[in-house]
Amino acid sequence: MRAVLQRVSEASVTVDGTRIAAIGPGALILVCAMRGDDGVAADALAGRIARLRMFRDDAGRMNRSLADTGGAALVVSQFTLAADTARGNRPGFSAAAAPDLARALCDRVAAALAALGIPTAKGRFGADMRVALVNDGPVTIWLES
């Protein structure tokens, strides 16, 4: 699985003009399930996200995690993270998991984060989403399981 984490002051998802999810301080997490991924990969990714030290401590160093800070997670499915741009000008997405599996794995990442005590919201799989965020730092980190 792949994920891009953005440390945020706030983030939200809007679908068809209706805000369906919003968080305050925490992380916007764009998640992509890849071919061959399974529940073990989803759980491992959630664990890494919860423990990743990307938030400032009292000294201003990135020494605190979502679990440490009580920050929230907004999980948004993002199959375009599987883009293959090695040839030509049009990305290919054949490395992404099939939609039914991808939906289940993205939901599992969100559920695993919530089970770890992280307040969690999520986008709507397969929807045309408008994602708004205020990137804090900015801090953007790529994770792969």
What confidence tens digit (pLDDT) does each residue in 28-75 have? Answer: 999 999 999 999 999 999 999 999 999 999 999 999 999 999 999 999
Positions marked active-site: 78-80
pLDDT of the residue at 145: 84
Identify the three-state secondary structure at position 6: strand
Which amino acid, residue 27?
Answer: A
d(CA 86, CA 67): 37
What confidence tens digit (pLDDT) does each residue in 84-117 have? Answer: 999 999 999 999 999 999 999 999 999 999 999 9
The CATH T-level fold of domain 2-139 is D-tyrosyl-trna(Tyr) Deacylase; Chain: A; (3.50.80)
Query: 123: closest CA among 5, 20, 6?
Result: 20
d(CA 2, CA 11): 20
H/E/C letters for each residue in 16-79? CCEEEEEECCEEEEEEECECCCCHHHHHHHHHHHHHCCCEECCCCCEEECHHHHCCEEEEEECH
Question: Can you give the residue ranges of every domain in the chain?
Answer: 2-139
What pTM was estimated for this model as a whole?
A: 0.96
pLDDT of the residue at 102: 98
For 79, counting Cβ atoms within 10 Å of its Cβ (0-12 exposed, 13-18 middle, 19+ buried), the class is buried
pLDDT of the residue at 101: 98
For the residues 21-34, what does the mean pLDDT come to? 98
8 A C-beta contact, residue 23 and residue 119 = yes
